[in-house]
Chains A and B, each alone.
Chain A
Amino acid sequence: MATSDTIAAIATPNGSGGVGVIRVSGPACKSIAQSICKVLQSAAPASSCTGQLTALPQRSATLTDFLGSPAEVIDTGIVLFFSTPNSYTGEDVLELQAHGGRVVMDMLLQRVLSLGARMARPGEFTERAYLNGKLDLSQAEAVSDLINSGSAAAARAAVKSLQGEFSQRVHALTEELTNLRIYMEAALDFPEEEIDFLASEEMHQRATSLRRNFAKLLETTRQGQLLRDGLTVVIAGKPNAGKSSLLNRLTGEATAIVTDIKGTTRDLLRERIQLDGLPVQLIDTAGLRASQDPVEQEGIRRAILAIREADRVLWIEDINQFDIEDDTARIPSGLLAGIESQVSEVFRLCDLLINESASMVESRAPDKERMGEAKAETLVVDLVLNKTDLGSHDAGLFSLDERLPLDTGGFLRFERCIKLSAITGEGIGLLQTHLKQQAGYDDASEDVFIARRRHIVALESAAKSLEQGFSQLENQYSPELAAEDFRLAQQALGEITGEVSSDDLLGLIFAGFCIGK
């Protein structure tokens, strides 16, 4: 079967290694190489969009900068090009070899995808090789096995990468979109009913709500709190509970200290670490204070925003201050309430500081709005009971599952309690695993990361269709075109949450409205 689409994937198994390879196969290889490899652009001026690749020698390595945009270098590495039919798949094949860090590989892959390739399915390179006659018959069984095992692994990865908040929000959005489509499709297919679906207040509310929630999720995705940038974790607690030693232990244990990509200096409040490739931003609340230095003020302002939008709080207490039995692991009453009042205290301090900086720089007003929004939500807290080494305590992890209202609005949800020693390192592994799990990152396999990239691609394509649909509805009032855009959006989301067929949709229409003569 002749293929017209171009596929891409990270071809190296584990991204934390020295070199990572992105493999691309299909007709768009040349134009992708042209856009990404700086060495080709200097040879052929950007104005010539003929796709001529005279400067790229075939089947030989060329050193080049990989460009994220004309101005931005993602990495420096090696490019290889194999022309059809003399390649692994039999199609044009492009290989980009970069420094294997997971974030770099993902950025590079994202760039390739944005230039017209799509994510390859597991085994798809080999499948193309086979279908193009590049593998002989004796290998066919192996291809079947590969497709099969690959798809099972992909399914597992997709499930894993879809744990937690992100997945819940995507599912909620899919449902909202489906509900909106019910109104659209009912309006188009049942014009003789007494309800004017398009004019109905409910439909407009649904559209507005969907639009808002989608924008929020996309912003989260783009900010990369849960994905690209990993977790933002606030470390808080009383003095001497062991905040600094925990911070040191976590950064010390980390595989690498990553400097800020954009190149700003490390600020007082924040540390960036990686847990097996998962980026984690740690924020120490101890640095919160009023300051006259504008640079420091800016740092504090950013930290406060991060606190408000943090994925979770690690609240540190000295386990020896409480009467806690190891076997029952019961938390003394009053401890959680005490934490709540201190978190409220931190928030009040934040508000104070933000107001100060806002009074100095007027354009900061939107920050306050954002904070107001964040306030109404739930902040997740893990209680860390430190210094197990000083008493007769063992390290351990157990669930709390308590919810308390915050003085300053919103809720605190106490999720886990982790007993550890920051000094000896006992129990730190439990904390690290827990944090990785919360980011849907418990498995260090590359698959999960790839599954995530798939989801982001799907979300972005859905977002594009949705926006087009909304503008059709608003500006030109072409409901059938808006319906087409919404259908495409749903198709894109379907990559994440599964297909919603036209029959499903009709079923929902008949269940929801009294339709028919």
Chain B
Amino acid sequence: MNYPDKFDVIVVGGGHAGTEAALAAARVGANTLLLSHNIETLGQMSCNPAIGGIGKGHLVKEIDALGGVMGRAADAAGIHIRTLNARKGAAVRATRAQADRALYKAFVRRALESQPQLTLFQQAVADLTIEGEQVTGVTTETGISFSAATVVLTAGTFLAGKIHVGQANTSAGRAGDPSSTQLAERLREMPFRVERLKTGTPPRIDGRSIDYSNLESQPGDEPRPVFSFLGTRDDHPRQVCCHITHTNEHTHDIIRNALDRSPLFSGEIEGIGPRYCPSIEDKVVRFADRTSHQIFIEPEGLDTPEIYPNGISTSLPFDVQLNYVRSITGFEKAHITRPGYAIEYDFFDPRDLHASLETKAIRGLYFAGQINGTTGYEEAAAQGLIAGLNAARQTKDREPWSPRRDEAYIGVLIDDLITRGTNEPYRMFTSRAEYRLLLREDNADMRLTPHGRELGLVNDVRWQAFETKQLAASTLESALQDYWVKPGDELFAKLTADNGLALNRQRRFSELLKMPEVKLARLLELAENEVSADKQDYSNLSGFSEAVIEQVEIRAKYAGYLGRQQEDIDRSRRQQEINLPESFDYSRVIGLSNEVRQKLLDTRPDNIGQAARIPGMTPAAISLLLVHLKQRNQLAAPAIDEAATAS
């Protein structure tokens, strides 16, 4: 049947990409339909029960700064929260939480169900309806047709998903869910480059069968970090402890002896797995000299005894899994509740996408999440948000928006994908960002919330909180400019005593702040009850929140480095503004080497900036493109330049 209501945006898939996509589209006012094969699994964490981490925590904060749900859900579900790299600099600090699966899922479900303009429907999608080169809707496996101007596909690992446990393999989207075979077949007929990837999970264990008495425990941080810019510690549920154990030589022997039964080594699995998340058999083989590997015992939730032993993902047969698990300290009597498995799935070469995440081949069709070759909830959610936003904008004839590399990790993520493609599941790391010092967790709101407001993603509550914080920060900053500490002041002596600062003359507070030894919170604390010799009253330096103090301090400490990056940023921004029309004919650019031409054809960059970032691109090649572009525009100027209007 043809469903009677028409939608602006249809989102296919209810994972982390799909839910953020649907919420974003609806937030900016598009009439949105979310189709999932199972409404009960909306917002499900299919892999490990954790949100955040290095690079990923940054993404969560950015999603939150754009009004997304992930940060607030992680606060509502976080049962063990830490700041990683706490003792290193602000740019690389990242929040990570163990999340209660049930609480997380429930929060996301509530957010979806309370979002105006958003409709949920339980149906597996079998086909896309396409007219010419424009998507017009989807058809479900039971034959219901929905029509919409745009479709966001977030099929995760479900496309032709294949699960391996030892030599046995079955078709599935994840353990317990069917794969989308029909849809995968249809998509393979379309003009997209398709490849296979692989990922894996460890066996889950019943915590009641674990002996914790000899295991190292790892508590969360106190005070607890908070994910959402709108969140507080009161949002957090009861906190629990994690534990750490290790594999041993015996474990490794068991694994080594069973390698001939591993689909990974027998060639059964063709997809490429993530290098930073290797299976235990991979670790044992590749790092044969290591006698032990650590395992994080992560609780799955407050109301379940099940745990997730992070570090021993595997595709070995179940009997081997049971054997090696029981060889590990604390797991001697372990009961496995779900066997570990590897899953292979289809993904699409993300170089076939624009920065908006719209496919280049089919207008109105957007891809987000794992089908673009990424891994991780955060990477998926980030793409979902951008794809949902742009799908909605397209229905209103608005220009697409995607953050630049110097604005957000989301920008780095998308640009890396569409420019370089990927040949393994792509995970975010801070080393991927050339502007790492700028892209921090603490300033994600400063970088993105104003954009979000303009795009319609950010509601009044968030905007007011943001403005209040910014006002406080600039008030504090100008106060620090105004105040001095002079020799003879009591504060001067206190500062010297406090950290052996060799102050030899009077200083502005803002100057003090640039010294690595001076911590702003401590400075304010020392100044609080002081009056300087010349009657400066420091009292309006008090009353600032932790977040504001942190923000001001980091800006001051990084100022020199950030200034240096600006020139770089300006140059790339100028290049980013020169569009390369889709119809640009690289074969007509005289002087390009065949190698460079092929790279350009593989990526088909949207603009000069993107072209310049293709690995192996030379400055001479960029010059040639510029010259050719100008020549082309001059030639085409009298006639109607269809390419220019199209792009």
Contact = CB atoms under 8 A, between A and B. Distances in A.
A517 B85 contact: no
Interface stretch (B65-73, B220-228, B335-343, B626-634): B626-634
Contacts of A361: none
B626 A189 contact: no
B256 to A, nearest CB: 15
Contacts of B635: 137
A257 B432 CA distance: 54
B283 interface: yes
Nearest to A480: B89
A122 interface: yes
B620 A190 contact: no
A188 interface: yes
Interface stretch (A74-82, A123-131, A172-180, A452-460): A123-131
Interface residues of B, number: 58
Interface in A466-517: 475-476, 478-481, 483-484, 487, 499, 501-503, 505-507, 510, 514-517
A517 B311 contact: yes
Contacts of A484: 436-437, 561
B310 A517 contact: yes
Interface in A157-213: 185, 187-192, 194
A194 B89 CA distance: 20
Given A480-B436, A481-B561, A127 B283 contact: no
Interface stretch (B141-149, B273-281, B326-334, B477-485): B273-281
B296 interface: yes
B91 A4 contact: no
A514 B619 contact: no
Nearest to B293: A514
Given A188-B54, A484-B436, A140 B627 contact: yes
Interface in B90-109: 90-92
A317 to B, nearest CB: 49
Contacts of A5: 571
B618 interface: yes
B631 A140 contact: yes
Interface string B486-526: 00000000000000000000000000000010000000000
A144 B624 contact: yes
Contacts of A121: 619-620, 623
Nearest to B85: A191
Contacts of B286: 514
Given A478-B89, A507-B275, A189 B54 contact: yes
A514 B283 contact: yes
Interface in B255-295: 274-278, 283, 286-287, 290, 293-294
A399 interface: no
Contacts of A514: 278, 283, 286-287, 290, 293
Given A480-B91, A481-B561, A502-B432, A148 B275 contact: no
B55 interface: yes
A188 B92 contact: yes
Contact of B275 (A122, A141, A143, A510): A510
The interface residues of chain A, by DSSP majority, are classed as helix
Given A4-B567, A127-B627, A480-B437, A505 B431 contact: yes
A144 B437 contact: no
Contacts of A141: 590
Contacts of A52: none
A479 B623 contact: no
A148 to B, nearest CB: 3
Nearest to B313: A517
B430 interface: yes
Contact of A479 (B89, B578, B589): B89
A2 interface: yes
Contacts, number: 137
Nearest to B91: A480
B431 A123 contact: no
A478 B276 CA distance: 25
Nearest to B275: A510
B620 A122 contact: yes
Nearest to A194: B294
A140 B630 contact: yes
B91 A143 contact: no
Contact of A480 (B92, B296, B590, B620): B92
Contacts of B275: 506-507, 510, 516
Given A1-B575, A188-B54, A143 B627 contact: yes
Contacts of A483: 436
Contacts of B54: 188-191
B546 to A, nearest CB: 21
Contact of B431 (A130, A140, A185): A185
A148 B278 CA distance: 45
Contacts of A4: 567, 570-571
A470 to B, nearest CB: 15
A107 B313 CA distance: 61
B298 to A, nearest CB: 9
Contacts of B436: 480, 483-484
Contacts of B89: 478-481
Contacts of B466: none
Contacts of B88: 187-188, 191, 478-480
Given A144-B627, A191-B84, A517 B296 contact: yes
B628 A144 contact: yes
A320 to B, nearest CB: 54
A147 interface: yes
B238 interface: no
13 contacts: A1-B626, A4-B567, A121-B620, A122-B620, A123-B620, A127-B626, A191-B54, A194-B294, A475-B516, A480-B91, A502-B434, A516-B276, A516-B277
Ordered nearest first, which 6 A-B pairs have the shortest CB separation?
A148-B591, A151-B620, A480-B89, A514-B287, A510-B275, A476-B516
Interface of B: 48, 54-55, 84-85, 88-92, 274-278, 283, 286-287, 290, 293-294, 296, 310-311, 313, 420, 429-432, 434, 436-437, 516, 558, 561, 567, 570-571, 574-575, 578, 589-591, 615, 618-620, 623-624, 626-628, 630-631, 634-635
Given A144-B589, A515-B276, 11 more contacts: A121-B619, A130-B627, A140-B630, A141-B590, A147-B591, A191-B88, A192-B84, A478-B88, A480-B89, A484-B436, A506-B432
